[in-house]
């Protein structure tokens, strides 16, 4: 009853927002719409208030003014959107309570991430630097016809800046605390007048780690080391045809992630707090170098548009992409060499979309199209452990918070547990999963003007997937002599269905139909009500237990979500105030979750059903050209249903019930140039880091306060300064992790106070 009352109250608030603007005349309305935000989420350029979807858009200028370079920073200003970044290799994207963060090559994402219409949704390759950007659009709720693959609960589209036929260039350099170094620039202009233009842009960011390492052989943890470059060409031989070619490359080489034990002291007497110094290490035959990440991501994109006539146009989106990542981490979180893990992933994909767009006198508009997607990936997880240390840990001989030196362990009972064999100082095991997907899709979406200011939109997408999942388990030295600790009971080599390399695999075909139906009612030229219902789908998963590969593969049912949403978008106060608000309810069926099993491995399972209720509001107020303010609030209550599942009644992980942000931008004319001040505050309520809803694996609500200031000395030169997390708030971005399966949860500290200064020259 309480949820129904809350939703009803939210709906009344939406209705109230509609009242002030109904009396505006047409001439005034036309003037108000001159500077409204435009988006392309419905595959055509529209004013944001005309789109019957909950979509948030942040343009490149705002990204720059707020100092937003990464997804986790951007997400704090978009209600219903959160991003957790353990490292560029391990992000968690969250839209309205649902998290997409699995790195398994045979598991589909829940949230679609696109770069100029090309899917980059795979977890290991989805984090890209937000530089030289036109805008970022975040569409919330199932988007089966608009985003398609992976958009179970929403989609993110990064629209990169394109070449211009007028020469322009910019260069920025900066420094900051923790030895930060920053450089960014772009240049664009014509190669052939009015026919061929180019754009080249790049960014470099380096910063030392913010969690000190007590191990002299390891760098400080959570550093940044990123280099990205993009080149693009625009070819427009005539007014009816355009072709954009885009090449992206990014390299990330940060130090190790600070998975810090909350149970054991890093050194005798040292603090176990996540933001205090950590004593982590890497060891074992598979570890190539120190803790940290080596990741490369690159892609090629071709965007073509042909205007057939006044009513029809044809769009082609072609994409090819590859990523390789190798990340070494210490899952036990303290100085004793208990475990060392590696995530060694790679993937390649090709996609082709053809779309016929139509617009008949603005009364019937939409598109029909087809999409081909082919993907091949793998993820190997080599691990090493010291059998002596593992026996001491799991046998109860290691008692927190003190950690004995490894040389003291022989005093503990080290009688061998398997066949009279001695315990090994290094035992190695490898688990590799493979995934191949070939997908064929046809889709259509049409909007019809029904008269009286009412527009009805409907869309369908049919998907046919051919999937293959594979598994190889290798035990180079044979099974562990600690029979109770060995993660893999049996290697796959020698199993009846294994090939010569020990690969076991299974293939299957799946198909389904998803839909959306939306209505928009114009209360005036500047106020629209909208409502929609839709169904999202996360495809089936073919999975095998790494602990018992002889059991073969099982199929997890497709995850489905049925959504209903209503909202209002309006422009008020002579165009100075924009308000977007919505309420929604989602029902999830066969929720797929990834749990850490008794052997410490991530395994996909069916966790039952879940539901979500929520409301969001965005307010943009610009009383004059010298000042503007943006405020957002999101309420999201996402819970597992009380249906006997493993997490019945619990809230979903990484999903705060409440989020809010406010940012102001004030400009002042001074004797030495225009001064722009941009203070901002973001806040979120309590969040749990796993679905078991344990207090020990949670983070209470907290706020982050940031300040940005820019002085434009001339039209060409400017200097800016920033301070993020100005009051050095201590908070966690994750807890539990792999070590939690062995009773030693680890904790990752959030970013502390950072500050710096930058110089920019525009040409």
pLDDT at 421: 53
pLDDT at 193: 93
Whether the pTM exceeds 0.95: the reply is no
Phi, psi of 155 (to 5 degrees): -145, 150
The answer on pLDDT for 247 being more than 90 is yes
The answer on pLDDT for 663 being more than 80 is yes
Residue 274 in contact with residue 330, Cβ under 8 Å?
Answer: no
Residue 137 in contact with residue 41, Cβ under 8 Å?
Answer: yes
pLDDT band at 454 (very low <50, low <70, confident <90, very high): very high
| 3-class SS of residue 16 | helix
Phi, psi of 310 (to 5 degrees): -65, -20
Strands 154-160, 111-115: pairing is parallel
What would the pLDDT profile of 370-396 be if each residue is shown by its tens digit? 999 999 999 998 888 888 877 777 666
Tally of domains within the chain: 1
**CATH no. for residue 6?**
2.40.170.20
Q: How many CA atoms lie within 13 A of 601 on its CB side?
A: 27
Tally: H helices and E strands in the chain: 5, 41
What would the pLDDT profile of 705-739 be if each residue is shown by its tens digit? 999 999 999 999 999 999 999 999 999 999 988 88
- Domain of 156 in residue numbering reads as 2-762
| Neighbour-count burial of 30, counting CB atoms closer than 10 A to its CB (0-12 exposed, 13-18 middle, 19+ buried) | exposed
User: For 387-411, what is the mean pLDDT?
Assistant: 58
Euclidean distance between CA atoms 95 and 100, whole angstroms: 9
DSSP string, 96-135: TTEEE----TTS--SEEEEETTEE--SGGG------SEEE
The answer on pLDDT for 36 being more than 80 is no
Euclidean distance between CA atoms 139 and 80, whole angstroms: 10
What would the pLDDT profile of 248-268 be if each residue is shown by its tens digit? 999 999 999 999 988 888 887
- HEC per residue, 621-670: EEEECCEEEEEEEEEEEEEECCCCCCCCCCECCCCCCEEEEEEEEEEEEE
What would the pLDDT profile of 561-580 be if each residue is shown by its tens digit? 999 999 999 999 999 999 99
Those residues with Cβ within 8 angstroms of residue 426's Cβ, 6 or more apart along the chain or in another chain: 283, 284, 285, 384, 385, 386
Within 10 A of 214 (CB to CB), how many other CB atoms are there? 16
pLDDT band at 486 (very low <50, low <70, confident <90, very high): low
């Amino acid at each position: 009853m309480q949820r129904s009352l809350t939703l009803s109250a939210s709906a009344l608030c939406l209705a109230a927002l509609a009242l002030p603007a109904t009396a505006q005349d047409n001439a005034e309305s036309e003037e108000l719409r001159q500077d409204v935000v435009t988006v392309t989420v419905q595959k055509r350029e529209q004013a944001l208030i005309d789109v019957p979807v909950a979509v948030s858009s942040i343009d490149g200028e705002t990204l720059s003014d707020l100092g937003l370079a990464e997804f986790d920073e951007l997400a704090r200003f978009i209600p219903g959107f959160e991003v957790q970044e353990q490292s560029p290799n391990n992000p968690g994207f969250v839209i309205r309570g649902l998290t997409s963060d699995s790195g398994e090559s045979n598991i589909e994402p829940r949230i679609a991430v696109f770069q100029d219409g090309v899917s980059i949704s795979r977890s290991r390759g989805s984090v890209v630097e937000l530089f030289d950007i036109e805008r970022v659009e975040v569409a919330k709720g199932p988007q089966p016809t608009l985003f398609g693959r992976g958009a179970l609960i929403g989609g993110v589209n990064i629209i990169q800046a394109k070449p211009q036929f007028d020469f322009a260039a910019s260069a920025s350099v900066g420094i900051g605390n923790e030895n930060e170094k920053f450089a960014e620039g772009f240049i664009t202009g014509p190669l052939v007048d009015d026919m061929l233009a180019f754009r080249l842009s790049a960014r470099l960011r380096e910063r030392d780690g913010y969690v000190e390492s007590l191990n002299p052989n390891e760098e400080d943890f959570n550093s940044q080391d990123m280099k990205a470059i993009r080149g693009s060409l625009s070819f427009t031989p005539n007014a009816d045809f355009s072709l954009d070619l885009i090449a992206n490359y990014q390299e990330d080489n940060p130090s190790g992630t600070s998975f810090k034990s909350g149970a054991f002291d890093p050194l005798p007497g040292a603090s176990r707090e996540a933001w205090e110094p950590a004593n982590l290490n890497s060891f074992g035959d598979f570890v190539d170098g120190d803790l940290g990440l080596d990741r490369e991501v690159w892609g090629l994109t071709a965007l073509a548009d042909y205007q057939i006539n006044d009513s029809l146009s044809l769009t082609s989106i072609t994409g090819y992409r590859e990523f390789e990542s190798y990340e070494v981490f210490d899952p036990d979180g303290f100085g004793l060499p208990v475990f060392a893990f590696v995530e060694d992933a790679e993937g390649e994909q090709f996609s082709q979309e053809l779309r016929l767009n139509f617009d008949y006198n603005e009364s019937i508009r939409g598109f029909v199209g087809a999409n081909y997607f082919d993907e091949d990936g793998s993820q190997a997880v080599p691990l090493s452990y010291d059998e002596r240390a593992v026996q001491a840990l799991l046998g109860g001989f290691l008692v927190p918070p003190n950690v004995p030196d490894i040389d003291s362990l022989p005093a503990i009972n080290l009688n061998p547990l398997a066949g009279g064999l001695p315990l090994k100082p290094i035992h190695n095991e490898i688990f590799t999963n493979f995934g191949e997907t070939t997908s064929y899709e046809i889709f259509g979406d049409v909007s019809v003007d029904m008269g009286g200011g009412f527009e009805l939109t409907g869309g369908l997408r049919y998907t046919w997937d051919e999937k293959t999942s594979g598994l190889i388990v290798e035990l180079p030295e044979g099974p562990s002599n600690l029979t109770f600790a060995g993660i893999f009971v049996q290697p796959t080599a020698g199993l009846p269905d294994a090939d010569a390399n020990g690969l076991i695999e299974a293939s299957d075909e799946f198909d389904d139909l998803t839909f959306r139906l939306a209505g928009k009612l114009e209360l005036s030229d500047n106020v629209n009500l909208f409502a929609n219902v839709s169904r999202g789908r996360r495809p089936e998963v073919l999975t095998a237990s790494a602990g018992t590969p002889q059991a073969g593969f099982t199929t997890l049912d497709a995850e489905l979500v049925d959504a209903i949403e209503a909202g209002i978008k309006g422009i008020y106060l002579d165009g100075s105030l924009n308000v977007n608000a919505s309420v929604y309810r989602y029902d999830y069926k066969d929720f797929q979750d990834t749990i850490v099993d008794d052997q410490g491995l991530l395994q996909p399972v069916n966790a039952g059903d879940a539901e979500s209720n929520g409301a969001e509001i965005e307010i943009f107020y610009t009383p004059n050209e010298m000042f503007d303010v943006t405020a957002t609030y999101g309420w999201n209550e996402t819970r597992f249903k009380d249906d006997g599942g493993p997490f019945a009644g619990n809230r979903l992980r990484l999903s705060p019930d409440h989020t809010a942000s406010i940012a102001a931008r004030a400009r002042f004319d001074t004797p030495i140039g225009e001064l722009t001040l941009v203070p901002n505050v973001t806040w979120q309520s309590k969040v749990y880091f796993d679905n078991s809803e344990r207090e020990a694996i949670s983070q209470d609500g907290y706020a982050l306060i940031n300040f940005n200031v820019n002085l434009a000395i001339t039209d060409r030169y400017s200097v800016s300064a920033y301070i993020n997390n100005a009051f050095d708030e201590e908070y966690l971005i994750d807890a539990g992790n792999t070590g939690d399966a062995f009773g030693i949860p680890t904790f990752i500290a959030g970013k502390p106070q950072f500050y710096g200064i930058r110089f920019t020259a525009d040409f």
